[in-house]
Amino acid sequence: MLSARPARRRAPPTTSNSHSPCNASDLLVRGVSPFLCQTGRVTDSPLLIVGLGNPGAKYADTRHNIGVMLLDELASRISPAPASFAVHKRTNTEVAEVRHQGRRLVLARTRGYMNVSGGPVKALATFFKIPPADIIVAHDELELDFGQVRLRLGGGDHGHNGLKSVSKSLGTKDYQRLALGIGRPPGRMDPAAFVLKPFSRQEAGDLPFLLADAADEIEKSL
């Protein structure tokens, strides 16, 4: 689903701390605490959400790391306390296992470089027994204007080396991609150089709203 509106200056949405009760069978059969029950379906089938990026302070604020930034936005929405990430040595990622809106989520931030993202994503899918269709990979997208968001199953990689690596490691392109638009580079700037630069001052001001819109897209899919 493509959100065509540009990032706009509005307060990022907040999640309510009030939860609607689950169906009684959910509570008794699944053993789900009422505290975990929010609007939406309750299921023990996990959804893996991976944010792509590069490691280290050098890359932390660059366009290429917007997928990792999104994971922080999602973690902040978990109630009653934000999710915290821990190193998952077997997959070389940082992972937070949570329930949100009745769905079990595995949030993961890659710790390796973008071009080798596939190995960790495959390792996560194997460890948590998650099929490709239940994987969402969040990434920067040059082909979308800054502020646009698109969530879809399958598709091309548009030259994105992180997606190429994930598709190769999973052996399929049939996983979900959450594309966060960063726009094309100005003039004749090399796209490879553009994605490794920090956001402009104006973009940085609008970035929280772009991340909020992207998190909204995920929440609508739960």
Catalytic residues: 64
Return d(Cα 52, Cα 144) in angstroms, integer. 17
Element spanning 66, H or E: helix 66-76
Q: Is 92 annotated as a binding residue?
A: no
Return d(Cα 201, Cα 189) in angstroms, integer. 18
Q: Is 59 annotated as a binding residue?
A: yes
Q: Is 23 annotated as a binding residue?
A: no
Question: Residue 130 has which token pair?
Answer: 């998650």
Strand partners, 140: 180
Q: Is 17 annotated as a binding residue?
A: no
Contacts with 117 (C-beta within 8 Å, 6 or more apart), sequence order = 50, 52, 110, 162, 165, 166
CA-wise closest residue to 108 among 24, 98, 77: 98
Question: For residues 137 and 50, is the Cβ–Cβ distance under 8 A?
Answer: yes
Question: For residues 146 and 182, is the Cβ–Cβ distance under 8 A?
Answer: yes
Beta strands in the chain (DSSP E): 2-3, 43-51, 86-88, 93-100, 103-110, 135-141, 149-153, 176-181
Question: Residue 144 has which token pair?
Answer: 């979308």
What residues form the annotated binding site for tRNA? 59, 113, 115, 161
What residues form the annotated binding site? 59, 113, 115, 161
